[in-house]
Chains A and B, each alone.
Chain A
């Protein structure tokens, strides 16, 4: 019936044509006055006639069109009320803990997810896929929407960081398993640029053309946020009675300048504080100096006052405050004459007594020979120094590898007894993570002369080993007569040169696992060089030990989500290890362990998985009645504090989905979804157009008449 109305379009055309019927002839007295008339008037009138005709045709067409109640369907339209499976990728990384006007971004995201579930009907299925999920398997979409809603309500924002690509893969896998005709993918996020990485390019082509992807913006620009991105002890060891420096890096990732109080807490007690003021985007370092009164494990925290994102306001650390820093020296060339021992100068430098004989050094050394190395429990030492040890057995090499990768520090001095091939095989053999910074080559010897020996050509003065003693490093008189040349490793990424001679590297470093290896290509005595006779030898050796030993401290510092591996001594019988969550947090801790992990007989390590929250955890166990306790710190990944946003439209392009809709906020979500599912009704727009055309037509007609 409506189709017949299209015939009404002929009316204005007919009127127009009739109006323009053939001119009638009128005999007239004279054309004189007609010829004087401005022809532009006629031309303007002609144009207006055409405009009027067009306006009237469009007006009628718009009205008739509106009667059809047309809808614009998207490419993903599958029909009204078809069963749907929805996968909701929910950003629960800690940037979502940012608060806008008192409400967390994550709460806003949950609200959006709730609306999505509310918009589903009976028979529809859904699943929620958190960004940061410990389970790599894709979830199962469920038709039990009420239960899913309860799970959603119970969800908490995490402290981790994650890329979007992983969550999308899981969500797409979940949708693929669904059997409903229509599938929808929702991504609710704060559009933190960090999450939108190039890994998303691997997903291009994975999005079906008939599946809409809704990108819901649950975030906002953060005004004020100071983030503690790093905290570490200085190179001083933590010994009771001695000052220990704690350094931390603070970055302002908010839009505004900020000023906050930074406090140092040890075992929950505030021991120091200072004020920090930073402009937006700026970074600064703050330092505290503290004297530990007692030995023992200490859990510490640097904490800023609250701001819009509290999750990055704290940095936890642990400190094993010792009476002394234990260092194991392995004498590779023992001698009955003490001064001829390979470790003579090392012992002297590391345990320098005062004139009165009182040893002031915080380092406690123990010297063993090569054959005794395997009997030592390496974990008891903060640092291991090999001095001219000829070769290492496989067992010893294995122990060393476990020790270093577990966080131990190893310093190697070469000498005339060192077998380079053995070192290269046992410490940098094929198929293994190399401990050596470089392979040992041939011995190079300087030519004889008035001042024989190679000189130190360059020094990494900004390296932690030399940074604090750079002004003491007078290397002018240093001479190295012999040293091992080195051959770079194939994967030399973690190796670096700290000091270089005229003819080759002298001191190299490599990070291996959680530990550090420092290689000196010359000897620790005066046989190959005059380093022990130089004034800088003592502070340099101390700094090396402190630097290598530091890695043991950081072994207990993890990132949220990283499993903690507790190294234990070999067990004679099974032991249960209790893990206790941080004392601070959103939920009250009742003193009960959050996990108990059984360690079997002979097992020397247990793994604790649940490091979802930042803070200082405690692991406790007992062996034969002897209690053991270890603290370890878990911190957020500081990268997540970079709150730089990516434009949602750019993010959609990056995703490469055929149909991607950006939703500005949870409030608009249902409207956008409904339009995508059902289509966009056009009839009201057509009525509006008709109204506008009526106004235009009136205007043109009046202007024409006025002319």
Chain B
């Protein structure tokens, strides 16, 4: 897919790097898609979609011998696989997502992630939609797999600024109510909300037999608390302040934070929600590849 537009969340090189990852990564990407398709979606036929250059390791079943005989070039057929998969990306745009150190906010990171996932999905002819929420649903882009859809999504991402208080559970419940067919739900959020309510909302998606993936995005500073001395912390959502000797409370704070993450992980595992803890200092493409690789192991 070629896209002539530019977006700060769309870095063709990075995206290409995902695409041009070693064979394993590519396989993972495809496998990822196939894997997603496996459980709910079986026995569908595929239509020929396009040729692509043969890479060592490709299945020879799809090797186009005729083209090879004619042109002496090696191509494989790519089929239009089942595109019943509908993926909905849910991006948290609450005020807490505006936090970031080193110039990249969590929301920005989430946008990069969203963009990458959108790209992948569309490339695989999946339908992908986007919901941006904070204390309520702020933007909804219905799923589509048209080439212009990525541009639309990227434009919306660029227009959106994180703000408002977090109220994930009601937003998730509302979104779950609005999604009529099962599919893939990918949530990009810091999940800083009442855990029980959030898990209840995630289970709401699960009840609809959708598969749920959660990218719990944090800035490393939110875990490490790398501040010295007396710090006047300003809550980006509520505007409240709190003075703390961060070097003094760091250890205890980290224990509390880790417990928060651990609880989410445990409960997501119990609810069969795919949970991934993400820090913004990890290159998103690398993280995504690691994730896709891990995902493959659990197919």
Q: Which residues of A contact B (CB under 8 A)?
A: 19-38, 41-42, 45-46, 707
Contact = CB atoms under 8 A, between A and B. Distances in A.
B51 to A, nearest CB: 47
B234 A23 contact: no
Interface in B218-234: 218-219, 222, 227, 229-234
A41 B249 CA distance: 7
Given A28-B99, A29-B222, A45-B248, A37 B256 contact: yes
16 contacts: A23-B232, A24-B231, A27-B99, A27-B236, A28-B99, A28-B222, A29-B97, A29-B99, A29-B192, A29-B235, A31-B240, A33-B256, A33-B257, A34-B233, A34-B242, A36-B256
B13 to A, nearest CB: 30
Interface of B: 96-99, 106, 166, 190, 192, 218-219, 222, 227, 229-238, 240, 242-245, 248-249, 251-253, 256-257, 260
Given A41-B249, A42-B244, A45-B248, A23 B231 contact: yes
A19 B229 contact: yes
Contacts of A36: 253, 256
A29 B244 contact: no
A41 B252 contact: yes
Contacts of B227: 24, 26
The 8 closest A-B pairs by CB, nearest first: A29-B99, A23-B230, A29-B96, A45-B248, A23-B232, A28-B233, A36-B256, A37-B249
Given A19-B229, A23-B243, A35-B242, A30 B249 contact: no
A31 B166 CA distance: 13
Contacts of B244: 34, 37, 42
Contacts of B219: 29
Which DSSP category, helix, strand, loop or mixed, fits chain B's interface?
Answer: mixed
A interface SS class: mixed
A23 B96 CA distance: 22
A27 B236 CA distance: 6
Contact of B252 (A24, A29, A38): A38
A32 B192 contact: yes
B98 to A, nearest CB: 8
Contacts of B106: 29
A53 to B, nearest CB: 15
Contacts of B229: 19-21, 23-24
Contact of B237 (A19, A21, A30): A30
B245 A45 contact: yes
Contacts of B190: 29-30
A34 B190 CA distance: 16
A42 B234 contact: no
Contacts of B237: 29-30
Given A29-B106, A33-B260, 18 more contacts: A23-B229, A23-B230, A23-B231, A23-B232, A24-B231, A26-B233, A28-B99, A28-B222, A28-B236, A29-B97, A29-B98, A30-B96, A31-B240, A36-B253, A37-B252, A41-B248, A46-B245, A707-B251
B230 A31 contact: no
B236 to A, nearest CB: 5
B161 to A, nearest CB: 14
Contacts of A20: 229-230
